Amino acid sequence: MTLSKTIGAVLFGALAALAVAGPAAADTWRFANAASPGDRAETSALRMIEIINQRMGGRHKIEYFGSASLGGEREMTEGVKLGTIDFAMTSTSAMTTFVPQLAFYDMPFLFRDTAHARRVATGAVGDKLMAAMEAAGIKGLATAESGFRNMLTNKTAINKPADMSGLKIRVIESPSHIAAIRAMGASPVPIAFPEVYGSLQQGVVDGLDLPIGNITPYKLFEVVKHLSLTEHIYTPHVFIMNLDLFKKLSAQDQAIILAAAKEGADLERKINDDLVVQWTNELKAKGMNIVPVSVQEKAAFAERMKPVWAQFENRIGKGVIEEAVAAP
């Protein structure tokens, strides 16, 4: 079965499970996601929901709210913290206001490659960061993957650090992301993601950074010219749940939720593995200028951005960065 058919099967099965769930009731939970239809983040979230709805035996059901219908990532995280939203899928970057330690993942050029990033995110360091969420009233269920962020620009392609000088770059409202973009030599401009397309179209900003998988679903190739493969920050997605709700559940139901979240996370990583090359080729075919960045220039970027590590070390926790760097 091709990956496209696999994704279609996941969507069909998940939506069928949601239909079986019927109208909202007292035991129906709300799952919020900012992802649009067709985004790998929605596909993986629907896989998780499908599994839970099938395995709960009618004890509980989940109703899905996509396309940021319950708010952006920051609002969803706050909703999970307060208990007005039961589940969400969000990026770690959007959670740093509530869980400062998650700024760890925003440290530029922290990981050697995707395999290293995944080992850290799903290993001992990742477990510590998931546990840190509990102080904010959030239960971390599983770490998925948005991917490495690359620079998308209009005025000029980014080949070297000097190319960033004077550019206005959209960032999420995160101190660590703001610091990273400033260290690259550009001016960070916090803008909510739903406003990004219009901001690029109107020239409010000169570019932004995103994983490759986030470009096509939101048609950003229509309003941005250059994609420079800087791979400067690795951003996980995470499945989260209100902590009080999780604690009230039986051990059996907790295990079902954790297993379902892991399956959803594994699916998103598989989609990234299978489709990054295809996405890149499609963007090139749509007219984007794909710019490889040399190892030497990545090293120059890394050196320029290294002070960001020291700036956030106390917030992240002493020794956490060193532990990640030393991980095999």
Distance CA 143, CA 118 (A): 9
pLDDT at 110: 96
Both structure tokens of 19: 């239909």
CB 104 within 8 A of CB 84: no
Q: What is the pLDDT along the chain (328 residues), one digit of tens a residue?
A: 444 555 555 555 555 454 444 444 448 999 999 999 989 999 999 999 999 999 998 889 999 999 999 999 999 999 999 999 999 999 999 999 999 999 999 999 999 999 999 999 999 999 999 999 999 999 999 999 999 999 999 999 999 999 999 999 999 888 999 999 999 999 999 998 889 999 999 999 999 999 999 999 899 999 999 999 999 999 999 999 999 999 999 999 999 999 999 999 999 999 999 999 999 999 999 999 999 999 999 999 999 999 999 999 999 988 999 999 999 9
- Secondary structure of residue 256 in the 3-state scheme: helix
CB 102 within 8 A of CB 89: no
pLDDT at 161: 94
pTM of the entire predicted model: 0.88
Cα–Cα distances in Å, from 189 out to 186, 227, 257, 281, 310? 10, 19, 37, 29, 23
The domains located in the chain, with CATH, are 3-145+236-277 (3.40.190.170), 148-234+279-326 (3.40.190.170)
Cα–Cα distances in Å, from 19 out to 57, 137, 223? 15, 30, 37
CA atoms within 13 A on the CB side of 183: 24
pLDDT at 7: 57
pLDDT tens digits for range 61-96: 999 999 999 999 999 999 999 999 999 999 999 999
CA atoms within 13 A on the CB side of 311: 16
pLDDT at 174: 86
